[in-house]
Amino acid sequence: MEEIKELIEQSHLFISRIRSEVSKRLVGQERLVDSLLTGFLTGGHVLIEGVPGLAKTSAVKALAAAVQADFKRIQFTPDLLPADLTGTEIYRPKTADFITRKGPLFNHIILADEINRAPSKVQSALLEAMEEKQVTIGDETYALPSPFLVLATQNPIEQEGTYPLPEAQVDRFMLKVLVDYPNKAQELEILKKNSFHQEEEIRPVINCDQLASIVGLMDQIYVDEKLKEYIVDLVFATRNPLEYGMDLGQYIEFGASPRATIFLAKAARINAFLAGRAYVTPQDIKVVGLDVLRHRILLSFEAEAEDISPDQIITTLFDSVEVP
């Protein structure tokens, strides 16, 4: 355990430097940055939701610059085609054969901007890439680079010209992060940074090889057996709330999938690491719980009619399920 602690302290220096570089472009939004780091360190995809102008895209671009990885931004539009993401085969008349032209998915970090503006056939093109880390073009299957991470943004207030993400794809996102407005002091700092000062250049802090060594360390962060049972209880409570003393069954159409159990444990480990610890506490699970669970609980018509949100359901779960 002492050796792991020492390794975590050394690796945590990289995280502090990354946060410092990102802060050159971003004011506040610490939770968003930690969620993006969680995605980097676990290989889990992140869905970011918030109104326009809250620096969602800027946060992803800043973090990609600090990590020194291949980065590509894709603006999703209604006329986008699956081949625009994956690539396609091009016929060469001179040689009478086909060559493969790989698409933008063949990069380490993909920023899918306004992902809900593309039709379902484009969304389905992402499913294989997100889950299997591979892409099929014609008869050939190509492995995607490692690490491979999809960071997607969507606008919750404008529904015209948008397409709801399929449930199968939403479940493949490890986290769904809600971005809120900055406070008054933060907005003043944003004004100063963007109006009266030259934009600072973000310097690379870590490369993919160094990132891989840190990722291998995450599995050694200790999770007690009682905490593992606590995670399972939380997920099971979304499926059978009455067994845990909660009268929420009429509000939940479908509970969280087993992916929630896996991702909740992984995200809790990363939260412990970001705090500089070699062990997970119940608070780590609660901190990441909303981001992991909010898009995995399907609400019933009764919940929508009474204006009950997934976050309210999850908060009730954390208040009701016994903490070890």
Q: Could you tell me if 163 and 280 lie in one domain?
A: no
Q: Are 167 and 129 in contact (CB under 8 A)?
A: no
CB burial of residue 229 (10 Å; 0-12, 13-18, 19+)? exposed
Q: Could you tell me if 202 and 247 lie in one domain?
A: no
Predicted confidence (pLDDT) per residue in 36-66, tens digit = 888 888 888 999 888 777 777 788 888 888 8
**How much is the pTM?**
0.86
Could you give the dihedral angle defined by the CA atoms of residues 157, 119, 176 and 69, in that order, rounded to the nearest 10 degrees?
-120
Q: Could you tell me if 230 and 92 lie in one domain?
A: no
Q: Token digits for 101?
A: 């032209």
Q: Could you tell me if 237 and 107 lie in one domain?
A: no
Half-sphere exposure of 255 (CA within 13 A, CB side): 18
- Alpha carbons 122 and 136: distance in angstroms, whole number: 14
SS3 233: helix
Among 214, 233, 252, the domain boundary falls at 214
Q: Could you tell me if 79 and 120 lie in one domain?
A: yes
Percent of the chain clearing pLDDT 90 (strictly above): 13
Range of the structural domain that residue 7 is part of? 2-214
Q: Are 249 and 242 in contact (CB under 8 A)?
A: yes
- Alpha carbons 88 and 201: distance in angstroms, whole number: 35
The total number of structural domains that make up the chain: 2
Predicted confidence at residue 218, as pLDDT, reads 83
Predicted confidence (pLDDT) per residue in 143-175, tens digit = 888 888 888 888 777 666 667 777 777 888 899
